[in-house]
Amino acid sequence: MSSNNLNHLLGIKGLSKEQIDLIFSTADNFLDLLQAPVKKTPALRDITVANLFFENSTRTRVSFELAEKRLGADIVNFSSSSSSVSKGETLIDTVNNILSMKVDMIVMRHPAPGASQFLSKHVKCQIINAGDGTHEHPTQALLDAFSMRNHYKNNLSGKKVVIVGDIKHSRVALSNIYCLQLLGAEVMVCGPATLIPKYIESTGVKVSTNLDNALRWADVANMLRIQMERQDERYFPSIREYSTLYGLNMERMKNVNPELLIMHPGPINRGVEISSDVADSHNSIILQQVENGVAIRMAVLFLLAQKSL
């Protein structure tokens, strides 16, 4: 690993299977710590992390903040809506001003694809991508794969995962595809043809526009929401029609493998891509994904700070 150490986590693309395995084995230890009465370790006590969120977030922001606190880091939170970004300050100026206050690491969510990569070339600081537009969301893919791997007793080889919904606007889909394929899983994407980008087949995934067929093929269904905030045109006639064709409900569950594992990165639009009874059913590991997210983010922060990733 030492010949290829990472200074940043910008995406899953570029990571090796060995590096993902190291993140997972480190997260296993942090998962144990998080079950203990004292959930903290001083591993990052000399590190200051700035969480820069230029786009809304609930899970990722809270999860990173908790992970940093559990590791004993000093943290500062920044949200673009209450900052001088609205006065015209550039991304590089904003970040360099924050860094001049002696910050070691930046966790950034930004609406522009490639924003973390761009920043990594212009500032002297370690950067973790917490979601960049429609491009990548590496820690989400890591926590998704970690949750599947724990469910299947450490082995994702040959597992069939269908990612359903708005593939075109999803950073979760692309990062999941890269991550799952590295770990030996087979991946299918399913959704309306208008929401499946043409380039996706070049990643080696299967493509389906028929949810019932896709679900019969799958061991795992990762349901994505429609990203209305990124859509500049209409991709399907109505939410009602989308839900009829691509919503996962109990009626559909009657015709699939009874052990089908249900996942969702959140936020859920209940009654659109997934019904409440399926989201809350025993097949669903949606809240376990969120729980595992803290351990995965602790592992990423820890390994980057040690320069051992």
Stretch that binds ligand CP, among 208-216, 224-232, 263-271, 272-280 (CB under 6 A): 263-271
Closer Cβ to ligand CP, 56 or 117, answer by number: 56
Closest CA to 283 of 252, 245, 239, 243: 252
Query: Where in 153-172 is the site for ligand CP (CB under 6 A)?
Result: none
Measured between alpha carbons, how far is 256 from 131 in angstroms, rounded to an integer?
32
Give yes or no for residue 227 binding ligand CP (CB under 6 A).
no
Window 111-140: residues binding ligand CP (CB under 6 A): 131, 137, 140
Query: According to the binding rule CB under 6 A, does residue 266 interact with ligand CP?
Result: yes
Binding segment (CB under 6 A) for ligand CP, from list 26-34, 54-62, 95-103, 119-127: 54-62
CB of 57 to ligand CP, least distance (A): 3
Q: Are 140 and 298 in contact (CB under 8 A)?
A: no
Cis peptide bond upstream of 192, omega within 30: no
Query: How many other β-carbons are positioned within 10 Å of the β-carbon of residue 84?
Result: 11
Binding segment for ligand CP (CB under 6 A), chosen from 58-66, 159-167, 251-259, 276-284, is: 58-66
- Does residue 119 contact residue 108 with C-beta atoms inside 8 Å? yes
**Residues with Cβ < 8 Å from 11, sequence gap 6 or more?**
116, 117, 129, 135, 136, 138, 175, 178
Among 26, 51, 60, 176, binds ligand CP (CB under 6 A): 60
Q: In this structure, what are the phi and psi dihedrals at residue 76, rounded to the nearest 5 degrees?
A: -135, 135
Cβ-based nearer residue to ligand CP, 191 or 293: 293
Using the rule CB under 6 A, is 192 a contact of ligand CP?
no
58 binds ligand CP (CB under 6 A): yes
Binding region for ligand CP (CB under 6 A):
57-60, 131, 137, 140, 265-267
